[in-house]
Structure 1
Amino acid sequence: MPDDAVGRAAAEARAAAEEESAFSHPAVDPDATAAYGDDPDQVIDFYTPRVAVSPGGGLAPLVVVLHGGAWRAPYDRRHVTPFADFLARRGFAVANVEYRRGGVSVPAQGAAAGGGADGVGAGGGGAAGGGAVDVVPVAGRWPETFDDVAAAMDALPGLVREFLPQGDPRRMVVTGHSAGGHLALWAAARHLLPADAAWRIDRPAPLRGVVALAPIADFTVADKLDVCGGACRQLLGSGEEFTARMPYADPALLLPTGIATTLVQGRTDTVVPQAVAEAYADAAAKAGEVVGLTLLEDVGHFPLIDPAADACAVVAEEIAQLAW
């Protein structure tokens, strides 16, 4: 086998092992759940801090978690509950947010089945003209995905006081993985949205910072790289819709935020490649803002949310640096 083929095979095997490890942990039930709307997906799970690390036993910093999964319906907040629990065991109060995702499946003859939380395939299949076809879940819902993140962030301070009194909403850090990293960056940039955006707020959100994990942070670059099987165009729409909606959705166009931001990225990530995070950091620099970019050697996409991985401890430390 040629050396390059051997290298690709080894990289694929390592990525598969990383994904398997991240999804091997049992889901962790929350201490409380609250609704921020009427839809079944408009809920937030709360995890109380497992240890008291605040000076004098005061309130713990609040970490808001936005899960990934390419904004696709099969992947909900349950897959990051071990990560939420990991943060709670580090002394954080944690809010794990659910939101509406792309729920419509379209037949795609010959589409690839299977795949992980950020893959294209969802398995399944059905009859079409007498033959089996796979189905591909659509990424995101416009505008509902954004409606929900905005509503959840607006409702959080009140819900925390009622359902997570150990948490301090005045020390709030938003983190998100992959598609959730996009949403975390977007949530911190709502004051920069176009004036006619329903989600726009008048001043920066009261955040200590954002820690975005392998985020889909620059839609132009992500689209060129076909990240997550064209997820960006599925989220915003194709053609003229994609172009028209970019100023309302692309974090790289919503800078500078004035909010401390760190990106954590694995160098061997093939799901959301390093180039996407670098493009966002470059855009921030051009806008006069310094964004931290922590690059982890020999780390792919999923160790960032895997409590068994060293990369997850790095993520917790990055959050702590902003929260405490």
Structure 2
Amino acid sequence: MVVGPGLVADPALLGEAAEREFAALGVRGTIVHARDAAEVLSCTARAGDSGTAVVAVPGPTPQARELMGRAAGPVVWLDLARADDTEVGEGAAHLHGRGVEGLTWAIRHAVHRLSHPRRRVPYGDHRDQWADLYLPTLPADPPAAVSAGDSAGMAASAGAPVAVLVHGGNWRAVWAADLMDALALDLVGRGFAVWNLEYRRPDPHGWQAATDDVAAGLDALAGVDAPVDLDRVAVVGHSAGAQLALRAAADGARVSLAVSLAGILDLVEADRRWLGSGAVAAALGTRADAGSRLYGSASPLLRLPLKVRQLVVQGSGDELDLVDFGRRYARAAREAGDDVTYLEMSGDHFAVIDPRAPIWRTTALAITETLH
């Protein structure tokens, strides 16, 4: 990790946060407080060499920030403050607006990026319209088709089931697809192809952009040249991403299973209760009582029945409003005739996307049993 000159943050605190994450990930890390931009450049040049992950916190100086636009390999650049318009070089990533806590996410992302190969597939022209495709390791000698007439069926059966991941973050642009890195690695290790979807968030782009992008990102799977089985697709959303995932299922996306992880499934009550400091109204651009038509199309609870098999997962240690939403949604979905499994276990809002947590391991088994 390299810290640029002039960064406004306590150096000791940065070190404490970094060392905790190094230990949690089981990696050996070093921290360099660069004297100038030349030293920042020297450190970032090591990215990718012999499995070296680099997190760079450039700070405010123009010379250090200019380096962010260069092609320096798989560097994860971190701005503690929000920096929406920052462009980084090819192969690099940019996280921003999460404060000092963002350092934890940046280190995770840097390490996860080196843990399994992934292919970035754009589905639109905007820099946030892409998905990272992870493929499981396939057997060296897949079974041969019994006959020419069976070849199409064998090709389909040889493909891996797909998990489409839709991240949350209260529909705000400071949160991105890196939130789902750990789940992607866990699921690819279970034999899934993973499509970790990024999309334009509503705060800079408007509500319709996010809805359109999730639909377009799901549709783009059909054009991917990869051994995937499009008849076995689960769309898995976390928090605000669960709303987008279930909304896509309600709109007719071709999925076999829709999974809500700590989902915001009742947008009307979420707005009335001012969940996430008004995140719902900020995303949709209107309050629930003023925009009933928009909320009627967006809220999963108001779209029932979805007519898609669903798994609703909720940590009992999460916000009580989310527990309320999950329980009421599952009950209403069953009453509407949907096939719904409700899973509530110990865990907080992020345990449901933590591969080490029992609630995620139980969830992963349920997804696997459904699609395998």
* TM-score normalised to structure 2 length: 0.63
Identity %: 37
Whole-Å Cα distance in 2 between the matches of residues 289 and 220 of structure 1? 21
Matched AA of 1:320: T
Alignment correspondent of 1:40: 127
SS at match of 2:207: coil
- 1:257-298 CA distance string (max 9 Å, x none): 2110010100110286200111211321332324211000x3
SS at match of 2:124: coil
Whole-Å Cα distance in 2 between the matches of residues 281 and 206 of structure 1? 21
Q: Are 1:227 and 2:275 an aligned pair? A: yes
CA contact (8 A) 1:214 1:272 kept: no
Whole-Å Cα distance in 1 between the matches of residues 261 and 134 of structure 2? 20
Alignment correspondent of 1:25: 108
Alignment correspondent of 1:77: 177
SS at match of 1:151: helix
More helix by proportion, 1 or 2? 2
- 1:119-173 CA distance string (max 9 Å, x none): xxxxxxxxxxxxxxxxxxxxx72211111111111221112xx2xx132112111
Aligned-pair CA distance for 1:241: 5.1
RMSD between aligned alpha carbons? Answer: 2.6
CA contact (8 A) 1:228 1:272 kept: no
Alignment correspondent of 1:187: 248
Gaps (5+ residues) in structure 2? 1-23, 25-100, 144-156
Alignment correspondent of 2:297: 248
Aligned pair count reads 252
Whole-Å Cα distance in 2 between the matches of residues 248 and 207 of structure 1? 19
Alignment correspondent of 1:236: 284
Moved over 4 A (4+): none
Whole-Å Cα distance in 2 between the matches of residues 81 and 181 of structure 1? 16
Gaps (5+ residues) in structure 1? 1-16, 105-139, 191-203
Which of 192, 210, 213 pairs up with 1:148? 213
SS at match of 2:108: coil
Whole-Å Cα distance in 2 between the matches of residues 185 and 289 of structure 1? 13
Matched AA of 1:78: D
Alignment correspondent of 2:8: none
- 1:287-318 CA distance string (max 9 Å, x none): 2324211000x311101111222222112112
Instruction: Quickly say closer, same or farther: Cα 1:321–1:227, change in 2 above 3 A.
Output: farther
CA contact (8 A) 1:189 1:254 kept: yes
Whole-Å Cα distance in 2 between the matches of residues 272 and 90 of structure 1? 32
SS at match of 2:234: strand
Which of 211, 219, 231 pairs up with 1:170? 231
Q: Are 1:96 and 2:196 an aligned pair? A: yes
Bigger Rg over Cα: 2
